[in-house]
Each structure stands twice: as C-alpha cells, then as structure tokens.
Amino acid sequence: MKPPLRETPLAARATRCVGALLLVLFSHAPATAAPAAAAAANPRTLRIGLSVDVDTLDPAELDAQESETIAHLLWGTLYKTSAEGRLDPYFAESYRVSDDGRAYTFKLRPDLKCENGAALSAADVAYSFEHAADPAMKFTGHAAGFVLPALQYAGIQVDDALTVTIKLKAHNPIALGLIAEMFVYCKAPYAAMSREQASTHVSATGPYRLVEWRHDDHVLLERNKSYALPAPPYERVLFRIIPEASTRSAELIAGNVDITTGVAPDQIDAINNSDTAKVESVASIRRIYIGFNQKEKFSATAGGRAIRDARVRRALQFAVDVPTLCEALLRVPCARAATMIFPRNDKTGIAADPYDPDRAEHLLDLAGYRRGADGVRFAITLQTPRGRYPNDVNMALAIGQYLDDIGVKTTVEALDFASVYMPLLRKHDAGPLFLTGTSGASWSALYDLADFPAPDGGANYTNFTDPEFYAGWKRLEMTRDPVEQEQIIRAMLTVFHERGTWLQLYFLPDLYGVSNKISWQPRADELISLD
Amino acid sequence: MIDLLVRRLLQSVVVIIGVTVITFTTLHLGGDPTYLYVSERASEEEIIATRAKLGFDQPLHVQYLKFAERLLLHGDLGNSLTYHTPALGVVLERFPATLELTFCALLLALVVGIPLGVLAALKHGRPLDGGIMLLALFGQSMPSFWLGLLLILTVGLKFRWLPLSGRVPVLDPLFAGDFGTAWANLPHALPFLVMPSVTIAFFSLARTARLVRSSMLEVLAQDYVRTARAKGLSEFRVVVHHALRNAWLPVVTMLGLEFGFLLSGVVVVETVFSWPGVGRLVFNAINHRDIPLVQAAVIMFSLVFVSLNLAVDLLYARLDPRVRLR
C-alpha cells in the first residue's frame, strides 16, 4: 500500500525552487571572476602578501616602501643596486664623472623600449629627472622630497640620443647611488597624463607591466613584452594586500601566497612548524637605536642633565644586553650594532660595546652619578613609538628595566607614532631618551653617515653638535681617494662612538615568510627582487 | 510629509557641517601633518616647502573655509594626500565593498537573530531560552578580531572550507552597470563573504535576539494575544501575525542605527579579512592624517546614517498607524 501523499510545506517548496533556479543560473557563470583570481591559480604567478597597499604608481611621486618595491618591477633606473650592495649598470651601460665631480654622463643601452614599443632615449631620461624636479608639480615623494635635494641636482642635458649628463651643484660622493634611485620612464605617455591619471595609469619601462590595481586588494603585474633585457622568472606577479599579520601567515601556510612580508615574531614557530613554508630573516638597513637628546630644554630634568655628559652616555652603552633582547622579543638572533654603518660596509674596526652592567655602574660612579639611598642615580624618560617597529613598546620597556637595574630609574612613554611621536622627533624634541630607527643604504657607508650632514640636519634627532665630527665632512669634500675616505669616516665614527651619541641596538631583522615551493632570498634593502 | 523631509534635510546639513568641523579640528589637534609627508632626512627648508605645497601653512580656520568653499561651490572635497586623486572618488571606490559586507551581516543578524529571539521568548525560562541567551552573551562580549581570527584558523586553514581572506567584487560591477560581471562574480564572491559577515553579524545578531525576546515577552502577555489564542488560532498565526507584528516595532527602530553601526564598525573585520572597504581606508587615512580623505569618508557616512534614520522614521509611521509624522 502506497503511503498517503503529503503536501510539501510552502517554505520547503520555495527553498527548493530558489535553489534550483540559482543552480541553473550560476552554472552559466564563467569560471573565473577576475584576472587576479585566474593569476593566483596559475603556477607561473608569484604571489606576494604585502601588509600595506601602494599609495601611488606615479613614478615621480612614489614614497612608501611598498610602492618602491612594485616600482622596481615596473620601471628601470640608470644603475641599480645589487643584493650585495654593488651599483651595477642597468639602463645605462656606463658612466663617467667630470673632473670637478659635478657632471655625471651616462651612456644608455641602445635597445631600451617604452611599454608601447617606442624607443626609450636620452630625452626620456631627461624628462624623468626634470618632471620630478619641476616645482610647479608640487611633488613631495622620494624623488622630489629626498633624492634630488640630497643629490644637489642642478639640471640634466641631452648630449645625443643615447647620452645624458646630470649636473650637480657640488661634488657628491654618493651621487651614483642616489641617481640609481631615480626611475626612468617615457615622456610621451606621461606628458599626456594629468597628475591624477599618472597615479593609477602605468606606462612601464621595467620587466613587468601593470595589469590591474584594485585598491587595498591587489596589484597584478605581467611580463612587459617590450622589455629588452633578460625576461624575469615569473610570468605574472600578484601582490595581495593583507594588512593583518596573522592572516598573512595563515594564507602562507595554506599555500595561497608564496612570500609574505612583515612576519610577526610570535608567528615564526607556526610558520616554521608548517610543512609548507619557512621564515627567512635578514638584517635590514634600518638602524634601531636609543637616542640621547642633548637639547638644552631637557636640562630642566635630572635625566636630561645627566645625559648631556658624554661619560654617562658611554656608561649606559654597557647596560643593555641587545642579543638577549632580540632573542626574547624579536625571536631571531641579532648582533649588536657597532656603528651606524651597515656592517657589510663598515670598515672602521670599531667593536660593538658588550653587555657589562658592572662596568656601566662603575663608569656612572666615576662620572659622579652615584646611587642614592633609594638606589636611584637619576630618573629619566624613554619615549617610544607604539607599533612603528616590531615589538617596539616591549623593547623600550625591557631597555627601561636594564637601565633600572643600574640605578637609572626609567619611565617609558609609549606614544602614537603618526600624531605625537613623529612630530616630536622631526622637531628634534623627542626624549631625553627616545627609541627610533632610521634607514640607511646597503651600498655606501657615506650614505649611512648622512643622517648627520650638519648640526641642524633633518635626522639629527639627538642634537649632536660635536665640531670634530662635522669637520670630517669638509675633509671628505676635498678627497676622491677611497682609502682616505675610509680613514676620515673612521675618525668621524670614533668621535661619534666615544661621545656615546646613540645607544646602539641593532639593524632591524626583517622577517619574510617564504613558501617551500620557491627559492627566494630576502635583501637587506627591503626590496623584493626577482633577479 | 514634505515638511518633514525638508526639515530633516536641513537638519542633515547642520549635522554634516558639525561633523566636518569636529573632524577637521580633531585631525589637526595631533600636530602638523606635514611631517608625515617628508623624508626622515628632510631639512627645515624642505619641510617648509612641503607644508606650503600641502596647504598646511595657512591658519586652521582659513584651511577650513577654503575646504568649505570648495565643497559648497564646486562639490569638491579635494585630492587625497596619499593617493593624489579626488578623495570622494577614493571613498566611493571602496564603498561597495563595505556596503556588501554590511548588508550581508545585517541580513544574517536579522534572519538568525529574530527567530532566535522569538524562540527564546516562547520557551521563556526553559533551557532553550537559557542557551540562546548564553549565545547572545557570547556574541556581545566576544571581540570581533578574535572571532575573525578563530574562523580563519579553523574554518579557513584547518578545514579549508572557505577562503581565508580577500574579496571578489559584486556591487562594483553592478553599480557600474555591468550586470553580467556582477552575476558571474556572485557565486565566487559568496564564499569570501561568509566568514567576515558572520564575524560582524555575531554582535548584532545577539543584540537583535535579546531585543526581540524582550519585546515578544511583553507582547505575548497582552490581552489581544490571549484573545487570539482563545479564538482557536494556530500558535503559528498567534506568534507571527499577532505578536511578532507588534514586537517588530522596536526592531525597526534599531535597524537604522544598527546598519549605521555596522557600516562604521567594520574596520577591524575589514583588516582581519583583507576586505578592501571604507573602514580600513579611513583607519589608514587617519594614521596618515589624510584630511581630505577622512572628511570625504565622514561626510559619506553621515549622509548614509542620516538617510537611514529618515527611512526608518518613515517606515515606523507606516508600520504603526498610531505614529504620525510631524
């Protein structure tokens, strides 16, 4: 006997109908929703997880590190810095310097092309420099805001179709490295673009061209067919913007990205214990240090007065165990920095100060800062940005504890970086102790030294004014002999070291997550190179 | 009705002016934004030149008046200092992503929260009621970033049921009139929407369930419900047609506020799930003190919030004949 027919409830029938309709409709939908999705699934695509989006793709206005990373794949430069810190020919085959050191003449490769296939000539190189230098454009990025002023750029001259001469206001021993930071692009497409258009529309000259930039989501590049130099290893490069460090690590472990930047120290074990990826660490060019601000205004406090004494500053160098701080808070080994020069370029022979709290106490006693009845020698404030560098607040708290241990009662003030800390720092008002980091270069000791071009230099946050140190710059201007340059640099840094201007910490270890499917090594200069 | 609309629009203008003044002042209280746009080695001359380029060398009131003049006369909110393109365009570009997420979250909160609230009221004092209220307690006390990461690690990474982060756009092509792409993207977009929507909805869902429960408990004790039952109507009809219809009113009031709350509160979830929406954009813009961009986003949010509340007021009057719009 058949069971009695039961009426299907209306809701159930409606659900089935809608389900069937969706199935029919979606079965006709294309399999790929967007170029990025297709590229992500392609094994010839390199997928990189970045923490921050690109701010602009206008080669004259680039500033942020992430933009620079992508820019190096989109545009070439006359010379380029290798991973080892060498300056190698790139768009230029060679260069020569005039006798007075104020003119750099570059001979271009003859086979260079713009993205549209037109030949790239000396006029395009000249446009790249003049456009960035044009005051009417009001550019504030890396080229106009730093490279050209630091270069002491005076103009550019087209000598012939493949030769340009860059003129400087004065001899500059780091000119070639600075010139290597200027991107070369083609005049015709950029002269036709408004500034707004240039920020999103790319006409490439480098190994890749822009396919798609979806803000805060991804940037997709593919090989530039007009690029005459050897083709890059990957057909496409997909930069995914993944701001949260835990999510980036999860995507790496899941195999959805091949490289991630900015691995958080607490995620190193999770990545290394996975079967799919590992963490690669490299000491970057960013120097992390505690500055002693010697500005007069800090004399009102006991700590501010104390650190104006070079003997006190020297004593405090021995109070902090830097390798232990790195192991505990950054979860990677690091060496204590000896000088402000990137170790590969440091030929001064100055050794890093060891951790020796007894010596620190002895030196403080000798300087006249004995422990009081409460065990305190003097009190001081240590300011730190919050979230600017990995574990920065904890690092400052730990350093404060080391200083407490030798009788320097330290109060740590953690400040918002953008609204409070940076304005203080830029006005040279952070302190009397402050934790910060400044970026150097992998290709020149002189570049690293240029944080202190003059007592009123922009990055002289410590108000260091020693005339013996600054006299070194005059001597450097007079010589072209590399050996003599090294001697002068050694003398300058010895003064800097003896005056205890910075409490040297470390060259910030950059942590990258790298998929086991690829072979890739990070660079000290934070660029993601595919060479 | 027309009077009400005009009055509300005028009020909205005052609200928006107030919001822009407060935002403008607050962003400048943190010091000179110029320092965020110069190299760390910039000299004093370079800083002064950059300050002039960005217009921060003018007194604060002059800067605001120039901004207001541009906005009122040309509808121009200025260019983003970070992206170097019109600020409103940058916000509008991200808006569909946030709208998509907020809409899904609200839908989820209502579809799940209302039945849970009704169920809890009907089973008042029983274990099911306790269970639902415990769930609501979790929903309201659990930080969204924690729930989001938990979902990523379990549902996404361990079980591989859903994508961990990212987005496939649906509303963007739809707003651009490209229905084909929107439709084609929809099935690809849904898996990406699930975890962030659940994360956002969990808080609202809990609140909705609690509100519906308390409202239903009040209504279920009314005489007309007893009368409906005495007439012999099915329990389903009593609950849905008589009780829920009246219990619905406070939920409608909450709806407008909730949508605004969700819209402005998605910043954490957008960050955790790499969702390219307005919340993340504003967070970054505040960090970079990109004043035109923050202003554009704030005006946009204010407009949406004011419009939603107006819509809710109109809807309220429609649902409850006792309410008259004046």
Per-residue pLDDT reduced to its tens digit, A317-329:
999 999 999 999 9
Q: Are A498 and A283 in contact (CB under 8 A)?
A: no
Nearest to A223 by CA among A115, A110, A120, A125: A115
CA B207 to chain centroid: 15
Strand order in the sheet with A45-50: A208-214, A218-223, A236-241, A45-50, A259-260, A502-515, A277-292, A433-439, A378-386, A408-416
Looking up tokens 């979250």, which residue turns up? B105
Residue A106 φ then ψ, to 5°? -115, 135
Looking up tokens 């970054």, which residue turns up? B284
Strands A163-168 and A103-108: antiparallel
The alpha carbons of chain A give a radius of gyration, in whole angstroms, of: 28
Looking up tokens 């009788």, which residue turns up? A407
pLDDT confidence of residue B79: 85
| Residues of chain A neighbouring B95 (CB-CB closer than 8 A) | none
Neighbours of A14 (CB within 10 A): 11
pLDDT confidence of residue B255: 79
pLDDT confidence of residue B144: 87
| Residues of chain B neighbouring A145 (CB-CB closer than 8 A) | 37-39, 42, 46, 50
Spell out the residues 6+ positions from residue B211 whose beta carbon is closer than 8 angstroms to its own: B117, B250, B251, B254
pLDDT greater than 80 at residue A94: yes
Q: Which of A216, A439, A452 would best serve as a mutation to test chain B binding (most B beta carbons within 10 A)?
A: A216
Amino acid (1-letter code) at residue A259: I
Chain A, residues 264-323, CB within 8 A of chain B, namely none
Q: Please report which helix (H) or strand (E) contains residue A394, including its range.
A: helix A392-405
- Give Cα separations from A81 to A114, A442, A444, B163 (angstroms): 22, 8, 11, 38
Q: How far apart are CA B196 and CA B177, in angstroms?
A: 26
Higher per-residue confidence, A478 vs A219? A219
First to last CA, chain B: 7
pLDDT confidence of residue B105: 92
Q: Which of B79, B84, B160, B293 would best serve as a mutation to test chain A binding (most A beta carbons within 10 A)?
A: B84
| Residues of chain B neighbouring A244 (CB-CB closer than 8 A) | 149, 165, 271-272, 274
Chain A, residues 379-398, CB within 8 A of chain B, namely none
Q: Are B198 and B220 in contact (CB under 8 A)?
A: no
Q: Does A1 contact B at CB distance below 8 Å? A: no
Strand, helix or coil for residue A176 = helix
Residues in chain A: 531
**Which one of A53, A63, A423 has the shortest CB-CB distance to B35?**
A423
Residue B270 φ then ψ, to 5°? -60, -35
Of the listed ranges A22-36, A88-102, A408-422, B231-245, the one predicted with least confidence: A22-36
Q: How far apart are CA A305 and CA A302, in angstroms?
A: 5
Mean pLDDT for chain A?
90
Strand, helix or coil for residue A414 = strand
Residue B209 φ then ψ, to 5°? -60, -45
Give per-residue pLDDT as tens, B21-79.
Answer: 888 888 777 677 787 777 766 777 778 888 888 888 888 888 888 888 888 888 888 88
Of the listed ranges A339-343, A400-404, B108-112, the one predicted with least confidence: B108-112
Cα angle value B107/B108/B111 (rounded, 5°)? 80
pLDDT confidence of residue A355: 97
Cis amide prior to A265 (ω within 30 degrees): no
For the stretch A486-491, contacts whose Cβ atoms lie closer than 8 Å and that sit 24 or more positions apart, written own/partner, are A486/A347, A486/A348, A486/A445, A489/A341, A489/A347, A489/A348, A489/A445, A489/A446, A489/A449, A490/A347, A490/A348, A490/A349, A490/A350
Token representation of residue B233 = 């109507």
Q: Are A320 and A458 in contact (CB under 8 A)?
A: no
Q: How far apart are CA B199 and CA B148, in angstroms?
A: 6
Token representation of residue B176 = 């651009």
Nearest to B35 by CA among A140, A289, A181: A140
Instruction: Quote helix, strand, coil % in chain B, to nearest 5.
Output: 80, 0, 20
pLDDT greater than 80 at residue A6: no
pLDDT confidence of residue B46: 79
Give per-residue pLDDT as tens, A160-186.
Answer: 999 999 999 988 889 999 999 999 999
Q: How far apart are CA A253 and CA A269, in angstroms?
A: 12
* Contact state of B35 with A456 under an 8 Å Cβ cutoff: no
Q: Are B166 and B97 in contact (CB under 8 A)?
A: no
Mean per-residue pLDDT, A132-146 = 86
Nearest to A163 by CA among A131, A119, A121: A121
pLDDT confidence of residue A111: 95
Provide the ipTM. 0.83
* Contact state of B156 with A439 under an 8 Å Cβ cutoff: no
Q: Are A146 and A75 in contact (CB under 8 A)?
A: no
Token representation of residue A121 = 């000539």
* Contact state of B84 with A56 under an 8 Å Cβ cutoff: yes
- Confidence bin at A27 (pLDDT 50/70/90): very low
Kindly identify which residue of chain B lies nearest to residue A143, measuring between CA atoms: B39
Spell out the residues 6+ positions from residue B135 whose beta carbon is closer than 8 angstroms to its own: B116, B206, B209
Q: Are A141 and A149 in contact (CB under 8 A)?
A: no
pLDDT confidence of residue A28: 43
Higher per-residue confidence, A433 vs A67? A433
Give per-residue pLDDT as tens, A178-232.
Answer: 999 999 999 999 999 998 899 999 999 999 999 999 988 999 999 999 999 999 9
pLDDT confidence of residue A302: 94
Chain A, residues 437-496, CB within 8 A of chain B, namely 438-439, 450-451, 456-459
Mean per-residue pLDDT, B162-170 = 93
A285 — alpha (psi -120 to 50), left (phi > 0) or beta? alpha
pLDDT greater than 80 at residue A9: no
- Confidence bin at B325 (pLDDT 50/70/90): low
| Residues of chain B neighbouring A52 (CB-CB closer than 8 A) | 284
Of the listed ranges A58-62, A484-488, B287-291, the one predicted with least confidence: B287-291
Q: Are B196 and B269 in contact (CB under 8 A)?
A: yes
* Contact state of A29 with B160 under an 8 Å Cβ cutoff: no
pLDDT confidence of residue A192: 95
Q: How far apart are CA A153 and CA A135, in angstroms?
A: 13
Longest dimension (CA), chain B: 86
Q: Does A191 contact B at CB distance below 8 Å? A: no
* Contact state of A247 with B168 under an 8 Å Cβ cutoff: no
Q: Does A194 contact B at CB distance below 8 Å? A: no
Higher per-residue confidence, A103 vs B253? A103
Neighbours of B182 (CB within 10 A): 18
Mean per-residue pLDDT, B161-182 = 92
DSSP E strands in A417-501: the ranges are 433-439
In sequence order, what are the beta bridge partners of A507? A287
Nearest to B194 by CA among B148, B262, B255, B142: B148
Strands A433-439 and A236-241: unpaired
Mean per-residue pLDDT, A406-414 = 97
Of the listed ranges A214-218, A378-382, A401-405, the one predicted with least confidence: A214-218
